[in-house]
Amino acid sequence: MKQSAQPCVQPQLLTAEQLAQLLQMSLRSIRRKASDGELPPPIRLGRLTRWRRDVIESWLANDCR
């Protein structure tokens, strides 16, 4: 039986670590920019902080504005 390849699904909510990897920045830079308001606002899920992938991609497409 032949197995079909599963498509690579990108997460819709990004952790700080995933965002750092996507932006090719250090985790410390992500935390600093988030604190300074230089990134789109994250979503808070209890104690968790996440960024919406679509918001980040739109932000990047608009030259980070």
- Determine the structural domain holding residue 32 and report its residue range: 13-61
Distances from the Cα of 3 to the Cαs of 6, 9, 38, 40, 65, in angstroms? Answer: 9, 17, 44, 40, 44
Identify the pLDDT of residue 26.
98
| pLDDT tens, residue by residue, 10-65 | 779 999 999 999 999 999 999 999 999 999 999 999 999 999 999 999 999 999 88
How much is the pTM?
Answer: 0.80
User: Within a domain: residue 7?
Assistant: no
User: Within a domain: residue 27?
Assistant: yes
Identify the pLDDT of residue 39.
97
User: Within a domain: residue 43?
Assistant: yes
Per the CB < 8 A criterion, the answer to whether 14 and 22 are in contact is: yes
Q: Is the dihedral of CA 45, 6, 25, 53 positive or negative?
A: negative
Distance CA 47, CA 15 (A): 12
Q: Model confidence at 6, in pLDDT bands (50, 70, 90)?
A: low
User: Within a domain: residue 35?
Assistant: yes
User: Within a domain: residue 25?
Assistant: yes
Q: How many domains does the chain fold into? A: 1
* Single-letter amino acid, residue 24: Q
User: Within a domain: residue 3?
Assistant: no
* pLDDT exceeds cutoff 90 at 1: no
